[in-house]
Amino acid sequence: MRIAVFPGQGSQSPGFLSSWLAVDGAAERLAQYSEWSGVDLVAAGTEWDADQIRDTQVAQPLIVAASLLSWNALPDRAGVEGVAGHSVGEFAAAAAAGILSEQDALTLVGIRGRAMAEAAAAERTGMSAVIGGDEASVVSRLEELGLTPANYNGGGQLVAAGALDALAQLTAEPPAGTRVIPLQVAGAFHTRYMAPAVEALRAAAAEVDASDPRVTVWSNRDGAAVASGSDFVGLLVDQVASPVRWDLCMASFSAAGVSGMVELSPAGTLTGLAKRALRGVPAVAVKSPDDLQAAAALLSGAADA
């Protein structure tokens, strides 16, 4: 089984969409994505600086738009038998699987980004990556500090979220054998602090039509495959305030016999995690149009030859 995966917030970088606008139809598609999401994604992806595109309400639709631009440019999508997304990447995965239309995916992610930015502004919170150490000990330390394990990324990486003073204490006194890296995000995503955003997204999601997936799609909730499109949309809503279990997604990939993985733009993070957790599985990170042929070769099986 060969799969496509879609990255989450933090994977963007200034100017990263510039090369994609040379692809046939991409400029027109991105202009349409901008209208649906309520963000000038052309300017955001080609002109704006790191601080501007770090803004939650910009970053989220920008990442989903980039993933879908590269997905539509992929020469051999018929070779994709399963999809999954990390955090906001689940919206791109939903569109790729046929659960949501691209219009609904971009509209919802625009609402999600604005709602999460508003929720993040209510209290001083943030997130930090904890690298290494024993997972049980790390989680125990977070509980001591009143922090939440927001992302279980696998490969020895867990992301803590919560109040900034507690995160500062975590950095000053990290669990044994770990490194703590503060992340440049606006708030404690995938925690109780995002509860107001859940309700805003739930109301919007109730207005869209969801279809059952055309390929296998795995959920961040518990790594399980989801056969119902409406169930998957419900999980998309709840995910805003619940942990991302990418570790369990990768365990499901392994159990399903995944033999190749393509990460869509802005790629690199998920293929990096896969190198540690899915050893021996070929993976291609589609960072620019130059990577499309390598991705197509993997999906067609030519890379196995």
* Arithmetic mean of pLDDT, 241-270: 96
Instruction: Tell me the average pLDDT across 117-141.
Output: 95
Mean pLDDT of 45-66: 95
The average pLDDT across 93-117 equals 98
What was the pLDDT predicted at 302? 56
Strands in 178-182's sheet, in edge-to-edge order, are 178-182, 125-132, 157-163, 148-154, 244-245
For the chain, percent of residues with pLDDT exceeding 90: 92
Give the confidence band of 233 by pLDDT, cuts at 50, 70, 90: very high
Q: How far apart are CA 153 and CA 140, in angstroms?
A: 17
Element (H, E) at 162: strand 157-163
**How many C-beta atoms lie closer than 10 Å to residue 225's C-beta?**
15
Which tokens hold the place of 30?
A: 């991105």
**Residue type at position 266:** P
Annotated catalytic residue, options 37, 190, 219, 242: 190
* pLDDT given at position 186: 84
In angstroms, the CA 221 to CA 299 distance is 26
Q: What is the separation, in whole angstroms, between the first and last Cα of the chain?
A: 16
Tell me the CATH number for domain 125-182. Answer: 3.30.70.250
In tens, the pLDDT along 171-227 reads 999 999 999 999 888 899 999 999 999 999 999 999 999 999 999 999 999 999 999
181 has which bridge partners?
129
Confidence band, pLDDT 50/70/90 cuts, at residue 52: very high
Asked if pLDDT for residue 268 goes beyond 50, the answer is yes
Q: What is the pLDDT of residues 132-151, one digit of tens each?
A: 999 999 999 999 999 999 99
Model confidence band, residue 158 (pLDDT cutoffs 50, 70, 90): very high
Cβ-contact 2, 83 below 8 angstroms: no
Task: Look up 86 and say whether it is catalytic.
Answer: no
Query: Is the domain 2-121+191-304 a CATH 3.40.366.10 member?
Result: yes
The residue assigned the tokens 């708030």 is: 187
For the chain, give every domain's residue range: 2-121+191-304, 125-182
- Is 211 an annotated catalytic residue? no
Q: What share of the chain is helix, strand, coil (3-state, %, to 5)?
A: 50, 15, 35
Q: How would residue 300 be classed by pLDDT, with cut points 50, 70 and 90?
A: confident
| pLDDT confidence bin for 305, thresholds 50/70/90 | very low
H or E element: which one contains 281? none
> In sequence order, what are the residues at sequence separation of 6 or more whose Cβ sits closer than 8 angstroms to the Cβ of residue 239?
87, 90, 190, 220, 221
Contact of 63 with 2, CB cutoff 8 Å: no
Please tell me which residue in 11, 34, 87, 242 is annotated as part of the active site: 87
Q: What is the mean pLDDT of residues 22-31?
A: 95
Is the pLDDT at 304 greater than 70, yes or no?
no
What's this model's pTM, rounded to 2 decimal places? 0.94
Report the candidate in 131, 221, 213, 214 with the shortest Cα–Cα distance to residue 174. Answer: 131
283-295 confidence digits (pLDDT tens):
999 999 999 999 9
Query: Can you tell me the mean pLDDT for 246-252?
Result: 97
Q: What is the DSSP string of 147-160?
A: -EEEEEEETTEEEE
Amino acid at 12: Q
Q: How much is the mean pLDDT over the chain? A: 95
Q: Which two tokens stand for residue 274?
A: 């896969």
